[in-house]
Structures are given as structure tokens and as C-alpha cells.
Amino acid sequence: MDFRKQPILESLTPFTRLLFSILLIISCFAVSFFIGLLLAGPLFGVNIADFISAMSDYSNEKTIRLLQYFQVIQSVGLFIIPTLLAGYFFERSSVRYLCLDKSSRWPAYLITLALMFAFLPFINWMVTVNEAMKLPSFLSGIEDWMKATEEEAAALTEAFMKMPTFGAFLFNMLMIALLPAIGEELLFRGLFQKLLREWLGNIHVAIFISAILFSAMHMQFYGFLPRMMLGVIFGYLFYWSGSLWVPIFAHFINNGAAVIFAYLSQKGVLSGDYENFGATENGLLILLSGVAVTGLMYLIYRSRPHPLTSSPSGKGS
């Protein structure tokens, strides 16, 4: 046997792999953030103290550029690099371990495209339901903090979504649509969902826990339920298709549509608020949206290229 070709951490149990992955993620993010801080000075002509004091001033163009820069650093250092390293450590092939070597038939991508747009009325209704939820009075302090955090996130998103030029639009497609679609799906579906399934032995539990972690990571409490539901959709797309490219495509469509709609609205081509794109108060349309999503997910399930007794990694439930 050629031990040079054996995975470096092949002997680890699923639980210890999960713990190792968490430590790897923290380490990679810390290193990448530190390097990003060191490079920020010469790249943007600011020192760390000035950046920290001005980081909440979203009217400052230099602050926005810095925050965009660190957003890219986060996508690469927190999601992409540690996940690729974990795939190499566990199987000596990140592409194979994360199911990036598998593609799905083109109808799966067409159905996924229809799915993401059909989902809009239902997901916007879930946002409304989530925003209406109230904590008990004795938790009012926590609720105030959640609201403040949500308002801060909304203000930052609004600042990022200002796209006066086509170049700014292309950069947002990279920062908001492409990098998160790749990075977050690598981490939450490609790595966590796989490890949780191996550890717990149940794909459905693994999908829901991964979706909860995915939603919690965004730290936007009044969008927790709809984002968790998106995570569930992405999880089953991965499981049923056997390819991570399918949920990456779905994630890209979800984020990219908001960027495109915001840009076209700012240019006067479309009217309306990008945050309410696809929203409706028509109960029948919301119901039809849920039915359409169920039907399209069933089509993905029926077109799966592998039996449900087999996972994307080749292991049973």
C-alpha cells in the first residue's frame, strides 16, 4: 500500500473531523483577517485605528470600500480556504470530497432556476411571519439588541447595494452573489452536511442542522426562518442531485437576482424595492408559490442520478 496517497486524516471519526473542521475554520479566518488588516494600510492608505473608528460611517465612500474588501476576505478566508483544506486532509482531493467533480444533467439546473423564482412569494411571506414574531417581555433587552443588529445589517446592505456604475454592479455580483454562493455551499452543504450525516447517520437531520447553522451564521434574526428554509432547499438539492454545483447555482440565482433587480431599479429600468422583489400579499399566490416549490422539488427528487440509499460521498444513510 502506498501510504503517500492515503488521506492525511483518514483515521479521524466523523465527530473529530467536525471538531477539526471548526478549528480549521477559526484558524484560517484569523490568519486571513490578520493578513487582510496588514494589506489594508498600503492598499487603502488607512491605519487600523482610523478604520475601526470609521467602520460604522456608511456615508464615507472609503469606509464602504474597506468593508467590501473585508467582505471578500471573509468569503475566502472563512468559507473557501478552510473547506478546501478539509477536503484535502480527509480525502486528498477537495474536488472529490466536496462533490465538485460531479455535475448534474441540464434539466436539474433549469428546474432549479424555476424553483428559485417560484419560491419568491412564499419566502417573502416567511420574512413577514418572521418579522412579526415577538419575544416575551422578560427578554425585551435581547429583542432590542436583535433589532439593533438587524438595523445595522440592513444599513450596511443598503450601502453595499448602491451601484452608480456598471463596474460596481459587476463587483457586487462577485462579492454578494458568486463568492457567497461558492463559499457558503462549500462549507454548509459540502462539508458540514456531509460530516453531520456521517456522525448522526441521518441525512434529513444533517440537512436541517446545516440549514440552522447557515441561517444563524448571518446574524439576522428577523430573517432566520426564511434563510433556514433556503438552507433546507439547498441541502436537498445537494442530496438529490449528488453534485454541489446545483445548490451553488441556486444560491447564486437567489443572491444575484437581488443585485440585478437593485441595479436595474437604480437605473430606472424597473421600479420597486429589491428587498421586496417577488413579494405579494395575495394569499392565493403565496399558496401557489408553495405548491410550485413542492412540485419542482419533487421533479429534482425524481431526476436524481443515484438511489437514496447512497449519499453524495458514497456512504449510506
Q: What is the pLDDT, as a whole number, of residue 313?
A: 47
Q: What is the pLDDT, as a whole number, of residue 281?
A: 84
Residues of the chain with pLDDT under 70: 1-4, 48-54, 274, 305-317
Q: Which letter does DSSP use for residue 312 in this model?
A: T
For residues 153 and 20, what is the distance between their CA atoms, to the nearest angstrom? 30
Query: 115 and 236 in contact (C-beta within 8 Å)?
Result: no
* AA identity, residue 238: F
First to last CA, the chain: 29
* pTM (predicted TM-score): 0.90
In order of 25, 48, 75, 133, 284, the CA distances from 83 in angstroms are: 8, 29, 11, 35, 42
296-308 pLDDT per residue, tens: 999 999 887 654 4
| H helices present in 133-202, as ranges | 140-160, 166-172, 179-185, 194-200
- Please name the residues in contact with 36: beta carbons below 8 A apart, sequence gap of 6 or more: 69, 70, 73, 77
109 CA to centre of own chain: 18
Q: What is the pLDDT, as a whole number, of residue 43?
A: 83
HSE, side-chain direction, 13 A CA sphere, residue 289: 20
Query: 289 and 118 in contact (C-beta within 8 Å)?
Result: yes
Closest residue by Cα to residue 36 from 86, 81, 83, 88: 81
For residues 309 and 240, what is the distance between their CA atoms, to the nearest angstrom? 11
Q: What is the pLDDT, as a whole number, of residue 134?
A: 81
Q: What is the pLDDT, as a whole number, of residue 54?
A: 63
Q: What is the pLDDT, as a whole number, of residue 316?
A: 40
